[in-house]
Structure formats: structure tokens, C-alpha cells
Amino acid sequence: CVSDACACNLGGDCECVCAVIGAYALKCARSGVVIPWRSQELCPVQCETCDRYSPCISLCPPPNCDTYLDPPESRSCTREYCVDGCEPKPCKPGHVHRSAANFTCVPEAVCEEKPCIVIEGIAYREGERIDRPDMGDACQSCYCRDGQVECLGVPCTYSTMEPLTTYIEEQACEFTGWTEWINSANPADNVSNSY
């Protein structure tokens, strides 16, 4: 590990050092020893709003509505070690995350409700925002309402304009020789001698 980290110094690659230390910390975590090695100065991690960095996040997904109605035995997770990274804010008792991708905390009773709509295996609850590239566009927000996808806002308008082409006529310059007042080749021809 030390030789790997020192070898990183040859290229000045900071990410290399972080990868080596991270691999070492992961081996330690698999052995049950958690090393809080990251800091603002050494390999910082930028987490999303409301998430927080932890040196030990369980590999088991946090309880959410997607798994809430599954039988308890299928919800049990046997992954024994953890990894470092960003973890969502935990929910208070009686609440779970809305889904595996949406970490909004909702009462467990919401999970018992029938999904508003299921799209490609993903269940959306009534009023839940649907962020999919094939629905709506950047100017709209789509939600599930009464079993349908409802997009609010005006679709983006894209106008195509004819390209504006401007032609500039090249002017032909004719060289007619030196003007008298600049002609230093023949100063005697210049009467005023003001060159």
C-alpha cells in the first residue's frame, strides 16, 4: 500500500493517492475496521444537499416504499461490510424513503397505497414527480395524477432561423504609386519639403 501510494507521486496524480487509500480502507472495512480517512484537505467528497459523508455506509439499501410490501425475508440484507461515500439523511421512526432513487421520507402508510402508475417496472405514487427523458422536456415538470402522467408548464420551443449570410465585396485596390507628400524616394520633386 505504501509503495502504491508513493508511486502515485511520480505523476502528481492526486486521484491516484485517493484510489490507493480508498482501496486500503475498503480492505479494512471488510475486516470490520472502519477508517475515517477522508477530510476537506485529503480526498474530499462533495455530497448532495441533505446527504452526508460517512466512512461506513451499509451496502444494503435503506428501507423504502419499493421494498416495503415485500415479505420480510426478502427484505433482509446479508452484506456484512460497508463502504465510504454519501448517504441520505435517515428517516424518523414510522417513515421510509419514497423509493430507492427518491430519498424523501414519507409515512410507511403511503407505501401501502396502490401505485399511481408503473413505468418500466418503476412504481410512481400519486403526486410523485416523474423524471424521465422520454416524458416532457426541460421546460416541463411531469407528475403522476389519477393513474396518468401530467406534465405542467409549456413545452420548450425551439425555433430554427435561416442562417444569416453577409457577403462583403472585396474592393480592388489599384496601386498608382506614391503620393507626392509621402514620396521620400524623390524629395526634390516635393516643393513644400514637408515630408
Q: By mean pLDDT, which of 149-153, 163-167, 180-184 is the weakest? A: 180-184
Q: Are residues 119 and 146 in the same domain?
A: yes
DSSP state of 188: G
Higher pLDDT, 61 or 35: 35
Residue 121 has a pLDDT of 78
pLDDT at residue 127 greater than cutoff 80: yes
Decide if 70 is inside a domain. Answer: yes
Q: In the predicted model, what is the mean pLDDT of residues 116-140?
A: 83
Q: How confident is the model at residue 93 (pLDDT cuts 50, 70, 90)?
A: very high
Do 91 and 49 lie in one domain? The reply is yes
The residues facing 123 across adjacent strands are 118
Q: Which residues pair with 83 in a beta bridge?
A: 57
Q: Is the pLDDT of residue 137 over 90?
A: no
Number of domains in the chain: 3
Can you read off the three cell numbers belonging to residue 36? 475515517
Q: Are strands 141-145 and 148-152 parallel, antiparallel or unpaired?
A: antiparallel
Tell whether 5 is covered by a domain: yes
Residue-wise pLDDT for 168-194, tens only, equals 666 555 555 555 555 555 555 555 555
| DSSP one-letter string for 158-177 | -----------PPPPP----
Nearest one of 65, 127, 123 to 99, comparing CA atoms = 65
Domain annotation covers residue 63: yes
Question: Residue 14: inside a domain, yes or no?
Answer: yes
Per-residue pLDDT at 117 exceeds 60: yes
Q: What is the pTM of this model?
A: 0.47
Q: Using 50, 70 and 90 to split pLDDT, how confident is the model at 92? A: very high
| Residue 54 and residue 99 in one domain | yes
On the question of pLDDT at 128 being above 60, the answer is: yes
The domain that contains 94 carries what CATH number?
2.10.25
Assess if residue 50 is contained within a domain. yes
In angstroms and rounded to an integer, the radius of gyration of the C-alpha atoms of the chain is 34
| Closest of 156, 70, 60 to residue 112, by C-alpha | 70
Per the domain annotation, does 160 fall within a domain? no
Pairing of strands 95-97, 105-107: antiparallel
Q: 104 and 51, same structural domain? A: yes
- CA dist., res. 130 & res. 136, Å (int): 9
- Which domain, by its residues, includes 20? 1-44
Q: Nearest 5°: phi and psi at 21?
A: -65, -40
* Most trustworthy range by pLDDT among 69-73, 106-110, 169-173: 106-110
Q: Assess whether 58 and 101 both reside in one domain.
A: yes
In whole angstroms, what is the distance from residue 98 CA to residue 111 CA? 8
